[in-house]
Amino acid sequence: MAKAVNGAKTAPIARHAAGGQSAKSDVLRWMSGLPHGGERGVVSGFFGGYSGGTFSLEQTELLRKETGHYPGLLACDYGNWVSSANTQVDTSCNGTLKKWWSSGGLVSVGIHMPSPTGHSFDTKLDDFADLTNTHTAVGRSWQRSLERMGDGLSDLQKAGVVVLWRPFHEMNGDWFWWANQHPSAFKRVWAYTYDYLVNTRGLDNLIWVYAPDCSRNSNLTDYYPGAGKVDVVGLDCYTDNPSGGDGKVVRNLDRQYKQMLSLGKPFAFTEVGPRFRVDGTFNWKKWIDAIQQRYPRTTYFLAWNDKWSPAQNRNAKGLMNDPWVINRDNIGGATGAPFHAPPVGRS
């Protein structure tokens, strides 16, 4: 049966327990339709932490306790840098992600990737193009990291889990080893990574997410690897004024939103939170108000945890209980049950 979301009936879309390309296309089609329904909706998301380090459902449960809802999407980072000077690939959050998917939610995986030099993940790599050359020490190290990532993502594929996969995030900044690289070299590395995971490993459960940072205002699309290797485009954006930006660090968020839409892919706010107001006073209702009024083609937002979290700031209820927000309970369905198309009926 169709399920009511925000008071309107919705049409079902198959959610395949076995995973694979059909399941990926179903999820992507469902997400792509969200901004175009008469009763538009945006999926809520929350970051659960770093796998093998801080990842748990503790803060997610606090959010549910305060608001009455689990977020529609749960995210994990495969990069455990919390307990190591250099990032380690850790996929131990997979068990929780499988249960989340089975409970009707969506799943996202990102990674603060290990540097192939052995340095910390925030030390820029100078010989970036060597990642695609396994005759170099850097290339061999990167290949080993890719294999571990592929093992974790393959485990999710076998469980039927479709993954919003967000590698190389904030590549237009200057705080990660993969960031601020020459755009052509970055695109080659993305293509190499895509080819390995999709073609060599056969992972057809990945929705590839391209996510630059909104504090770098002019180079959002310079690193875009092409429509054939990206499914969703987004912005990682921390600002105290989501309605347009603060005019200083985030100078013109409206323009950035339009620039990302020009790529012709579903759009998401792939990380969001306050920038300076991290003292518990940020009003999270600002984000859903801004999405409705200025960024209505947003398919999902991913709120960060800890001091940026809605549950540790103000008005989490206003965010999660807004009629536009689609939480886990109104995505609907356990494994094998339907997703639901966006509501229709309001112009």
Instruction: State the catalytic residues.
Output: 170, 271
CA-CA distance, 103 to 271, in Å (whole number)?
23
Distance CA 131, CA 125 (A): 10
Contact 66, 269 (CB under 8 A): no
Amino acid letter, 277: R
Under 8 Å CB-to-CB from 75, ≥6 apart: which residues?
45, 46, 47, 48, 107, 108, 109, 110, 164, 302
- Of 319, 255, 316, the C-alpha closest to 281 is 316
Contact 99, 69 (CB under 8 A): no
Strands (DSSP E) found in the chain: 4-5, 8-9, 12-13, 42-50, 73-77, 79-80, 88-89, 106-110, 163-166, 206-210, 232-238, 267-273, 298-303, 325-326, 339-340
First-to-final CA distance of the chain: 24
DSSP letter for 229, please: G
Residue 131 is given by DSSP the state: G
